[in-house]
A and B are shown apart, each in its own frame.
Chain A
Amino acid sequence: GAGVSQSPSNKVTEKGKDVELRCDPISGHTALYWYRQSLGQGLEFLIYFQGNSAPDKSGLPSDRFSAERTGGSVSTLTIQRTQQEDSAVYLCASSQRGGRFTEAFFGQGTRLTVV
């Protein structure tokens, strides 16, 4: 697509429920990143995909968080048994790897509210 697309744009869920967030990167971008931004904070790295593999999952805050990417394109971030501290804006970005230039383009994000 023309830009990075994320869905849903907003999600309100009850504590303890599972949620799935979707990211559709720019066509041809091999690198995909998930970030989380809590209120008043900078961007917190969660996970990075190069193609379908995730060489770095170090940012995932707990084992309730998982992510996958299929076909080198769409990625889903799943949060199981959501907690109130999971409330944040979840941003996805994609970039073209190769060479030194790694300008990342962001989606509009998903605002997750756990009540």
Chain B
Amino acid sequence: EDKVVQSPLSLVVHEGDTVTLNCSYEVTNFRSLLWYKQEKKAPTFLFMLTSSGIEKKSGRLSSILDKKELSSILNITATQTGDSAIYLCAVDSGGGADGLTFGKGTHLIIQP
């Protein structure tokens, strides 16, 4: 059974801090790893990672995949209160579900 584990499950930091969110996976046939930000109901896409060691960057957010360690990290620098959300990691394994296996998410709270 494919598995995606995120840590920490929740994190409270002060505005301006840097945070690192972790995602590890065990899947039968890895195709890509995706990060989503979920505020209220709908997750919005952040990054898709397919190759190991290549950092993807968007403003203060960046992410990298380590296929040897079967993991990925999402970094957010100079955090702002608007970064408060649940960050979801998902893996596309193209396996039986032919869909995305999601982790439980990291609930990030940025305090002013």
Q: Which residues of A contact B102 (CB under 8 A)?
A: 35, 42-45
Interface size class of B (residues with CB under 8 A): 20 to 34
Q: Tell me which residues from 26 to 69 in chain A have a Cβ below 8 Å from any Cβ of chain B.
A: 31, 33, 35, 41-45, 48, 50, 55-56, 58-59
Contacts A105-B45, A106-B42, A108-B41 known; A48 to B105 CB distance under 8 Å? no
**With A42-B88, A100-B32 in contact, do A106 and B99 touch (Cβ < 8 Å)?**
no
Contact A91 B42 (CB under 8 A): yes
> Is A25 at the interface (CB under 8 A from chain B)?
no
- Point out the residues of chain B lying under 8 angstroms from A104, CB to CB: 34, 45, 99-100
By a CB distance below 8 angstroms, the chain A residues around B34 are 103-104
The answer to whether B32 touches A106 (Cβ under 8 A) is no
Stretch from B11-19, B56-64, B67-75, B90-98 forming part of the interface with A: B90-98
A33–B42 touching, CB < 8 Å: no
- 10 nearest A-B pairs in the assembled complex, by CB-CB distance: A42-B104, A109-B41, A43-B102, A48-B99, A42-B102, A108-B42, A106-B42, A102-B92, A106-B43, A33-B99
Residues of A at the B interface (CB closer than 8 Å) are 31, 33, 35, 41-45, 48, 50, 55-56, 58-59, 89, 91, 93, 100-109, 111
Q: Which residues of B contact A (CB under 8 A)?
A: 4, 6, 31-32, 34, 36, 40-45, 48, 50, 88, 90, 92, 96-105
